[in-house]
Each structure stands twice: as C-alpha cells, then as structure tokens.
Structure 1
Amino acid sequence: MRVERISRYPVKGLSPEVMEEVALRPGDGLPDDRRFAFAQGDSPFDPAAPVWLQKRHFACLMANARVAAIRSAYDSASHTLLLRADGVAPLEAPLGTPEGRDAAAAWMTAYLGPEARGALRFAEAPGHAFTDIAAKAVSLVGLASVQELGARFGMALDPLRFRANILFSGAAPFAELDWIGREILLGGARLRVFKRTQRCAATEVNPTTAERDAKPPKWLREQYGHADLGIYAEVIEGGRVATGDALEPVQAELLG
C-alpha cells in the first residue's frame, strides 16, 4: 500500500494544506492540524480551559456547507491566515494580534450571515486541536473505499469529502475497517489503529461546488449496515512520512 496524499487542515472546516512530507510525533496528530476554529457565538469553548466539544459549536461543513467555498491559507512562519471567497473582499489576518483574530472572526461572521449564531470568535488554545474526536490521532482513508462507494451509486466521489490526513492506495475496499487494534507502519512511523471514522452530513458537501449533492452516510448504511469510512490511528513511534511511502499493517505474530 502507498501514501498518495498527506493533508492537514489548519482551520476546522476550511480548505486543506497538501504536504509532501510530515514529521509525526508520538501521541499527537499532524502539526497544526485543526489548530484553529471559528466558534459560534453561543459556543461554550473557553480558550483558558479548553476541552473537546462537538463540531456543532463551530463553523463546520456538517451545518454550514458554504464554508467549502472558502479558500484559506495559513502561513506558519508569519502566523498569518488568508481567507478568500467569491463575492467577498479577501482578508489577510495576522493571528498574532487581537486585531487580526477579531478581523478573521468578523469576516467569517459576515460570510455565514444567518447561519452565524451571534458573532463568531476565532478560537485557539495551546496544545488543543479542534478535531472530530477527543483523542489526538491521524485519520486515514483508503482510496478504494471511496471509489467503491461512489461506484455503487453511479457517482465519482472526491476523496476530499472525507477530509483525511492520509489518503492511501493498494488496499481492498474497506479493508482498513478490519485493522482496529492493529499496528501499522506508515513511512518511518508506527501507529495503532483504534477507531473507525463514522461519517456525518459533512461528507454530503461537494468540496468544489459547496453544494450538498451526495449522501455518503445514508449510502453506507444502506449498502454496508454502518456509516464508517476510514480509520483513526494514534502515533506510537514518531517518524517522517512522505508521499509515496509504504503503509503496511503489522502482522499480529510480529507483535509478540
């Protein structure tokens, strides 16, 4: 099996940053993945005491399909976020200043319009990630799984709907769902698979058009009896992972 694409999503719900390689660390996800979010006005998120919250407390594709039309770019060197969307003046926000963070939040509030539940807040907290599960993990999706699901319903599904950190080829469709509890070698890192990824309405959104034009959760339940596509894995031995690297499940007998 082969790593085909590595992605991180600096801002929850917004566009990916494609990486040629990444250094994984034990007990952590990809660096800067879901580091930021836009908290809805009624969100209880407290940056002084950050805890994991469900995605509905933030701008997200599950509830706000139109955020798929935003093109964002985060420059870690300058700590600057660029936000662009058709019909809206672009914004370059220096996140190291209160004014920059407030400007980014105001931009998103205006963009969401009636979908904004009060004034949004730009959310960040040291060491906190705005991921869909509380555990820090790497998400992986097999391309064959996406292709088979789409083929069953006569539609080519863009794998980006599933917002994985790692897209890989070479496995049978949905084979990765059987890796729960197993370790995998991913480039120079070792991970342990611990959970299937249950899919929600976010995957209904076309990442190119920002329209809800498919029903992956419904289709999965109808065809397979569950809504799972992809897996989560924890990093147990860090290392470098690059596009083109091998991905291999470790045989149980080799684990002792």
Structure 2
Amino acid sequence: MHRVLDIRRHPLKSAAAEHLDEVVVTADGLDGDRIWTCLGADDTVGSAKQPRLWGGLLAVTASLSAQGDAAADMLVTVPGGKALEAGGPEADAALSDWLGHPVRLTRHPPKQLKRHHWWPDEPGMIPDWAAGVEPGGDDLVAVRAGADGRFFDFGPLHLVTTGALARLGAEHGEAVDPARFRPNLILDLPADPEPGQRIAIGADLLVKTVVPTPRCVIPSLAHGAAPADPALLKTLASHHRVDVPEYGRATCFGFYAEILAAGTARTGDEVRVL
C-alpha cells in the first residue's frame, strides 16, 4: 500500500517548510501555503530563484498560528534570532539584516508582480520557452498570484515521489534531500504519474497531475542542513530534461497537480493512482 510520507507547507515564499501531520487542501492548495512574501526595495517579490538577493530566505523558518481563514498570523525566525510576528517592524528589520538589503513582509503586494530570476549557466537548465535569455544573467519576470493572493510559481500543489527521488539519488551518486525541491506532499510511489492521471489521497482528496515541474537554481542551493550542491544541476540536466506538454523541453523534477476534490491530507494516508 502506498502512502503520504510527509506534508510540507511554506507559509512564506522561499522560506523553509513547516512539517505537518495533516492539512486541509482546497482548490487553492494547502491551507496557508505561500500566503506571505518578502518585497524588496524595488517592490519585487522575494524568490530564491535569484540567490544573490534572496538565497538566505531558504534558511528562514516561518510558521502559522492556525489554519484556514485565521492563517494570516505568522512567526518568522532568522538563524540565531527569535520568533517575530510578521507584519511588524521587528520582523522586517531582522529579515533585512539577515538578507543584507531592505525588505518587508506582506500579504498584500502591488498588483504588478515581478521577481528577479537568475538563469543557471549549466547547459540544459534553460527551458525551451526561455531560449533567448542569457545563461548566468538576471531577468525580471512576472509572478502569478492566486485569486486569494497566494504566491505560486505555477500550480497550487507540488508533489514528489520516493521512486523519482531514489532514481535521482542513483544518478547523482548520493541521496538527494527532497527539501531541495520544496514539495507540498511526498508520496510513496514507485514513479511519478503521467500528466492527466488522477491520484486519490486518503478518504476524500482527489488531485490530477498537470505538468512536470521545471527546475531552476534552487535545488543546488543550501537548504538548512543540506549544503550547497552545484553538481546537482548537471545531474538534473543530464537525466531529467523532458517534454513539458504545450511548453517545450525543460529540466524537470516533481510535478504540479490540480485539486479535483477538496479534502484533508494526513501523513500515512493511502495513495492510489487511478
């Protein structure tokens, strides 16, 4: 029997995950997932896809005091610091000091959302749809915000499987921490389902795979106890460059899913690919 091995919520975009025993999942994703963001002095969204500016966010922890509509209250902690309430001057000052430039936390960013994106210079890491960009260069790209103000790069639910992680570890010569891919759910499945397949999780949650997840520089960066691993990009580009339906070829790992039926996900829940 296949099961949910781990549930991870990221209340603050690009910060470390909360590990949960259970969470409500709606059409908008996990309750409380990516509902806060950092803004830079130029009002761009803080994303570790530009590590020079925002890589330090991966070491910041963020936790919510409640789920559902009350999930607005968040505590953030920079390494070596104390937990501070998001939205106040103390938290903004601590993050600014940690990151080395002025930032502020918000749930209500400007309508025109953009972020800095650093394009890796590892061959194969630039997707077909960005073929004109400069490897090693920085771009300003548009950010998608959900109708409820969430800060997703693409879809509301991101998953990885133990089978794909085991294959990647064999290709890379060592185990790869799944935190590098920032999933919401880690599923005990022998391989990733194909796009369009449905996955039943627990008693009532039903999702459908949409596309494999294109990868950026983030998997190669330090994530807490996992040190920086630049060679991981070469492994990914060598073994995981695939056709993304309707978009073109890209180096991918994990997959996005849409929610067909809302429900509660719990660690240990049975997982069935239909």
Normalising to structure 1: TM-score of the pair? Answer: 0.77
Partner residue, 1:159: 178
Query: Are residues 189 and 80 of structure 1, via their aligned partners in 2, closer, same or farther at CA, if it must alter by over 3 Å?
Result: closer
RMSD of equivalent CA atoms: 2.2
Distance, in Å, in 1 between the alignment partners of 2:201 and 2:148 is 24
Q: Residue 14 of structure 2: SS of its match in structure 1?
A: coil
Q: Which residue of the partner structure matches residue 131 of structure 1?
A: 152
Distance in structure 2 (CA, Å) of the matches to 1:219 and 1:162: 14
Q: Is the 8 A contact 1:74 1:82 kept in 2?
A: no
Structure 2: runs of 5 or more not aligned: 109-146, 243-250
Do 1:66 and 1:211's aligned partners in 2 also have CA atoms closer than 8 Å? Answer: no
Name the residue aligned to 1:122: 105
The residue that corresponds to 1:238 in the other structure is 262
Whether the aligned pair in 1 keeps the contact of 2:220 and 2:230 (CA below 8 Å) is: yes
* Residue 16 (structure 1) shift: 1.0
Please give the TM-score of this superposition, normalised by the length of structure 2: 0.73
CA contact (8 A) 2:78 2:98 kept: no
Return the letter of the residue paired with 1:197: T
CA distance in 1, matches of 2:60, 2:4: 27
Per the alignment, do residues 80 and 70 of structure 1 end up closer, same or farther by CA in structure 2, a change over 3 Å counting?
Answer: closer
Give the 3 Å change call, closer, same or farther, for CA 14–71 of structure 1 in structure 2: same
User: Counterpart of 1:60 in structure 2: which amino acid?
Assistant: A
Residue 182 of structure 1 corresponds to which residue in structure 2? Answer: 197
1:93 aligns with 2:80: no
Aligned-partner residue type, residue 238 of structure 2: E
Q: Residue 43 of structure 1 corresponds to which residue in structure 2?
A: 43
| Counterpart secondary structure, 2:186 | strand
User: How far does residue 83 in structure 1 lie from its aligned partner after superposition?
Assistant: 1.1
Residues 1-256 of structure 1 aligned to structure 2 (within 5 Å)? 1-25=2-26, 27-44=27-44, 57-60=45-48, 62-63=50-51, 64-76=54-66, 79-86=73-80, 89-93=81-85, 95=87, 100=88, 102-113=89-100, 116=101, 119-125=102-108, 127-133=148-154, 135=155, 137-172=156-191, 175-176=192-193, 179-187=194-202, 188-209=204-225, 211-226=227-242, 227-250=251-274
Between the two proteins, the alignment pairs up a number of residues equal to 220
Which secondary structure does the structure 2 equivalent of 1:2 belong to? Answer: strand
**1:91, CA displacement in angstroms?**
4.3
Once the two structures are TM-superposed, the CA of residue 66 in structure 1 deviates from its matched residue by 2.8
